[in-house]
Chains A and B, each alone.
Chain A
Amino acid sequence: MFYSITLSHVLTFSSLLLTMGLAGIVLNRRNIIAILMCLELILLAVSINLVGVSHFRADISGQIFSMFILTVAAAELAIGLAIVTLFFRNRGSIEVDAADLMKN
């Protein structure tokens, strides 16, 4: 069992991870692949949060929801990477700014 680690530490850690993911989205906002990776980071932060609460509150439901998050992350990434491939095939670039087909 943990000696001095409590739920607050886990929540702090996962909020740090989530903000790092957000910072990655802000800093790499032109690169779709980096944005997808940072989305994975955010989902992982939520997952760690749920598992931590599940441990410290002795409730298994958190792990179940973490599993659903895993499912959604995999589905989202499959669709996202398919769109990236399609986008690169049509526009020859993966910059977000290249997605201006609907402009004007």
Chain B
Amino acid sequence: MLPDILFLLFSTGVLVGAGLIIAARNPMVGMLGMLVTFLNAAGLFILFGAEFLGLLLIMVYLGAIAVMFLFVLMTIDIEFYQIREKAKAYLPIGLLTVGILAAEFILAANFGLFSTNITVLPTGPQPSNIVQIGNVLFTTYALPFQLAGLVLLTAMVGAIVLTHRPRSDVKRQDIGKQNLRTKEEAISLAKPKTGAAMGQGVAKHWNPKSVSKKVK
């Protein structure tokens, strides 16, 4: 009986969080709704016996994705209220379409192929959840697992390449330019007279801004 109550509790929490995301005028409130949603979803996963996945959900969504959203929200300076105001015109037709879709889905879930309601119980003693996942993930799904890693790598490289911009006020090493320097333009030899100091124009190419300003 207790698992049923927990299921109802967690699913209600997920739906409340989803409603908060949809109805939020301030995206920070939507962020809060997302935290509620994913925390309750993690509880639901653990209730279904997928402990590893539930904890992974908390780590990935609440630890990484929520923080990423917050960073982007902080860097974007915009009035979200103005965007929201103009969206009222789509309310009736949108709700109608989505309502019909929801009715179809619920009908399919209750009277469709999966509505036999037979619960298959695992036979014999079972290893723990993480052992089961490892047994399957590294044998049957070894290639998709590696491809998932490739997807993450691509996303990381893509995000960095997209948001990176070269800045002119930051000095950075240009290896090609360094390798193309010749001896003639890098070194200048001077023969000062005896008693005369090394004056201006001796090192022609060594002309940093700080020094040239002082000379002028």
Identify which of B45, B52, B162 contacts A83 (C-beta below 8 A). B162
Give the Cβ gap from B133 to chain A, nearest Cβ, in Å.
6
Contact A70 B60 (CB under 8 A): yes
Give the Cβ gap from A83 to chain B, nearest Cβ, in Å.
6
**List of B residues within 8 angstroms of A72 by Cβ:** 148, 151
Contact B49 A55 (CB under 8 A): yes
Give the Cβ gap from B74 to chain A, nearest Cβ, in Å.
11
Q: A15 vs B163: C-alpha distance in the bound complex, in angstroms?
A: 35
* Interface residue B121 (Cβ < 8 Å from any Cβ of A): yes
Q: Given A23-B98, A27-B87, A74-B155: A5 and B4 within 8 A (CB)?
A: yes
**List of A residues within 8 angstroms of B48 by Cβ:** 51-52, 54-55
* Interface residue B3 (Cβ < 8 Å from any Cβ of A): yes
Q: A28 vs B81: C-alpha distance in the bound complex, in angstroms?
A: 12
How many residues of B are counted as interface, with CB atoms below 8 angstroms from the partner's CB atoms?
A: 82
Give the Cβ gap from B27 to chain A, nearest Cβ, in Å.
5
**List of A residues within 8 angstroms of B56 by Cβ:** 67, 70
Residue of B nearest to A24 (CB): B22
Contact A88 B76 (CB under 8 A): yes
**List of B residues within 8 angstroms of A3 by Cβ:** 1, 3-4
A75-104 interface with B by 8 A CB criterion: 75-79, 81-86, 88, 93-95
Identify which of B73, B101, B106, B108 contacts A33 (C-beta below 8 A). B73
Could you list which residues of chain A lie within 8 angstroms of chain B, going by C-beta atoms?
1-9, 11-13, 15-24, 26-31, 33-34, 36-38, 40-41, 44, 47-48, 51-61, 63-64, 66-68, 70-79, 81-86, 88, 93-95
CB-defined A-B contacts under 8 Å, sample of 29: A2-B4, A8-B117, A11-B108, A11-B114, A13-B14, A15-B106, A19-B105, A22-B98, A26-B95, A27-B22, A27-B87, A28-B22, A30-B87, A31-B87, A47-B57, A48-B45, A55-B49, A60-B136, A63-B50, A63-B133, A64-B136, A67-B137, A68-B144, A70-B57, A77-B65, A78-B159, A79-B158, A86-B163, A94-B78
Could you list which residues of chain B lie within 8 angstroms of chain A, going by C-beta atoms?
1, 3-4, 7, 11, 14-15, 18-19, 21-22, 24, 27, 30-31, 34, 37-38, 41, 44-45, 48-50, 52-53, 56-57, 60-61, 64-65, 68-69, 72-73, 75-76, 78, 80, 83-84, 86-87, 90-91, 94-95, 97-99, 101-102, 105-106, 108-110, 114-115, 117, 119-122, 129, 132-133, 136-137, 141, 144, 148, 151-152, 154-156, 158-159, 162-163
